Structure 1
Amino acid sequence: MSASKIYFASDFHFGVPDHSLSREREDLVVSWLEEIRTDAAEIYLIGDIFDFWFEYSTVIPKGFIRFQGKLAELADSGIKITLFKGNHDMWMFDYFVRELGIQIISDELVLERNGKKFYLHHGDGLGPGDAKYKILKKIFRSGLCQWLFARIHPNLGVGIARKWSMHSRLQNNQKEEFTDLEKEWLVSYSKDLLLKEHYDFLIFGHRHLPLDVQLGESRYINLGEWINFNSYAVFDGENLELRYFKKRED
């Protein structure tokens, strides 16, 4: 089978809510990656892959080694892999670039494939509202903030970050539900983008709810997350489909 499909997924949030459940989810994601390797030409992981990530000059957070090993295996086989920074793992720098040849995207990425135009972004800090987070994002992404955090011993730094993440939606297993399309801020953001430029597909993570919304001739896709939904999207060269992964029984 020729490798021709493009896969999109986000919000694995490895590390929450505890080690045991995170390891189960890691095994599930690795099984998904193994299944799609037969026809995947490109894989885009659209942020919050890790619930926390910080690359010190000589140290990275321990764990998630099966996932990293699978990424290395797929990258070495010629599959193009792209990782986006999310609001939980915005402190990815050059580790995956140097070790695996994976491209790191800080904000948006625009692609054209087979005559279709894609707009990709994790989704944090976009659209109306959430002024507090938008300010925090600028602070956390500043070189000074990153330099100061790097001065903290990893045991303390990672401990602080994990305590912070205890307040996250997925840490407390809060399953998102759809209420009102008019309240979907990423839909509003997509509509504004489409007033300026045409995209066939606008693909985001962050919202934690799988959504496929028709916007005129375009589609807004939210990839959901992998604690409750195991959702992802695949583009076969003509059509893009939102799917749900179920591990095959041996």
Structure 2
Amino acid sequence: MKLKRKIEVAVISDVHLGTYGCHAKQLLTYLNSIQPKKLVLNGDIIDIWQFSKRYFPKSHLRVIKKIIDMASDGVEVIYVTGNHDEMLRKFSDTTIGNISIVDKVVLELDGKKAWIFHGDVFDVSIQNAKWLAKLGGYGYDLLILLNRFINWCLERFGKEKYSLSKRIKNSVKSAVKYINDFEEVASELAIENRYDYVICGHIHQPKMLLKENKHGKTMYLNSGDWVENFTALEYQFKRWKIYNYNHDKLSAFFADEDIKGMEDVELKDLIAAITINKPL
């Protein structure tokens, strides 16, 4: 049995299982490399908006089974609902075994408070025109498919991969402004409510930065996604880190950042988990 990195908290979001853009195999590799005390699924894990019986590969199903396995092995799994899996909000404040479903959660971490929610509450396009937001989701999925074909061609010619959606987001001023506004609003609310950390997903932009105003300060964190960035947030040794699959691979999370290295962890056999229903 190969070693796994022990961490206190891992946060992932925007996996979008059930869509062509989801990179389930990379996520499985990551989940098999860690042993967290808490695993926070910060929204849009299963893309119920775009769910189709025609497309749900085995690798996507294995992600779900892996998470259930982790819960059965004692990991506290907190599923924070997002907009693409908003149907689960009907079951908010429900616990099944070690898995709980919530709309938001506050964690106490070494005397500090971390406020965790998906972030779609700030999205006016979703609140006022849900059909338009869903249409945009399908367009994004099509863009990811096109991008995969382009990258396949680039790899055949020995060229570096290219992200169309990142290019579009970074070139559109309104998109850049939206992301900045999102970060500012989340941070200001966190400072107002005296939270030391505010952790979101939703905008697919991994980020960790200190936000400060005349009323105080907070650390804004975003877990990114498993469509383009392949990122997660990890809490260990009283600090947060953005884990980037493409850059970090399976490097260990040591107190000394210069000490790295860990061999790949193979996908273990998936075992059906038995859970016990109990009230929250």
TM-score w.r.t. structure 2 length? 0.64
Q: Structure 2 counterpart of 1:15, which letter? A: G
On the 8 A contact 1:182/1:188 being kept in 2, the answer is no
**Structure with bigger gyration radius:** 2
Q: Structure 1 counterpart of 2:189, which letter? A: L
Q: CA deviation at 1:131?
A: 3.3
User: Could you list the per-position Cα deviations for residues 143-165 of structure 1 after superposition, in whole angstroms to 9, with x for gaps in the alignment?
Assistant: xxxxxxxxxxxxxxxxxx8x884
Residue 24 of structure 2 aligns with which residue?
26
1:133 and 1:199 map into 2 onto residues whose CA distance is 26
The count of corresponding residues between Structure 1 and Structure 2 is 210
Residue 244 of structure 1 aligns with which residue?
244
2:142 and 2:18 map into 1 onto residues whose CA distance is 9
Q: Structure 1 counterpart of 2:9, which letter? A: I
Q: CA deviation at 1:125?
A: 2.4
* Shift in alpha-carbon separation, 1:49–1:70, aligned structure 2, 3 A: same
**Match status 1:41 vs 2:37:** yes
2:49 and 2:98 map into 1 onto residues whose CA distance is 18
* Shift in alpha-carbon separation, 1:241–1:76, aligned structure 2, 3 A: same
Q: CA deviation at 1:181?
A: 7.1
Q: Structure 1 counterpart of 2:12, which letter? A: A
Question: Bigger CA drift: 114-123 or 177-186?
Answer: 177-186
Q: CA deviation at 1:112?
A: 1.2
Residue 147 of structure 1 aligns with which residue?
none
1:171 and 1:86 map into 2 onto residues whose CA distance is 21
User: Could you list the per-position Cα deviations for residues 169-194 of structure 1 after superposition, in whole angstroms to 9, with x for gaps in the alignment?
Assistant: 35423234497578512222123214
From 185, 204, 208, give the equivalent of 1:189: 185
1:124 and 1:199 map into 2 onto residues whose CA distance is 19
Residue 151 of structure 1 aligns with which residue?
none
* Shift in alpha-carbon separation, 1:16–1:197, aligned structure 2, 3 A: same
2:111 and 2:191 map into 1 onto residues whose CA distance is 20
Residue 119 of structure 1 aligns with which residue?
115
Structure 1 unmatched ranges of 5 or more: 140-160
Residue 69 of structure 1 aligns with which residue?
65
User: Could you list the per-position Cα deviations for residues 85-124 of structure 1 after superposition, in whole angstroms to 9, with x for gaps in the alignment?
Assistant: 11111112559x6765411112x22221211210111011
On the 8 A contact 2:32/2:265 being kept in 1, the answer is no
Structure 2 SS opposite 1:125: helix
Residue 231 of structure 1 aligns with which residue?
231
Residue identity over aligned pairs, in percent, reads 22
Q: CA deviation at 1:49?
A: 0.8
Q: Structure 1 counterpart of 2:14, which letter? A: D
Residue 149 of structure 1 aligns with which residue?
none
TM-score w.r.t. structure 1 length? 0.71
Q: CA deviation at 1:54?
A: 9.8
Q: Structure 1 counterpart of 2:241, which letter? A: E
* Shift in alpha-carbon separation, 1:164–1:228, aligned structure 2, 3 A: closer
Q: Structure 2 counterpart of 1:133, which letter? A: I
Structure 2 unmatched ranges of 5 or more: 145-164, 251-263, 267-280
**Match status 1:10 vs 2:13:** yes
On the 8 A contact 1:177/1:209 being kept in 2, the answer is no
Residue 76 of structure 2 aligns with which residue?
80
From 138, 150, 155, give the equivalent of 1:166: 138
On the 8 A contact 1:53/1:91 being kept in 2, the answer is no
Q: CA deviation at 1:166?
A: 1.6
Structure 2 SS opposite 1:243: strand
Structure 2 SS opposite 1:172: helix
**Match status 1:131 vs 2:124:** yes
On the 8 A contact 1:8/1:232 being kept in 2, the answer is yes
User: Could you list the per-position Cα deviations for residues 8-63 of structure 1 after superposition, in whole angstroms to 9, with x for gaps in the alignment?
Assistant: 1111111222xxx64xx2122121111112xx1000010011222699xxx9x965
* Shift in alpha-carbon separation, 1:79–1:125, aligned structure 2, 3 A: same
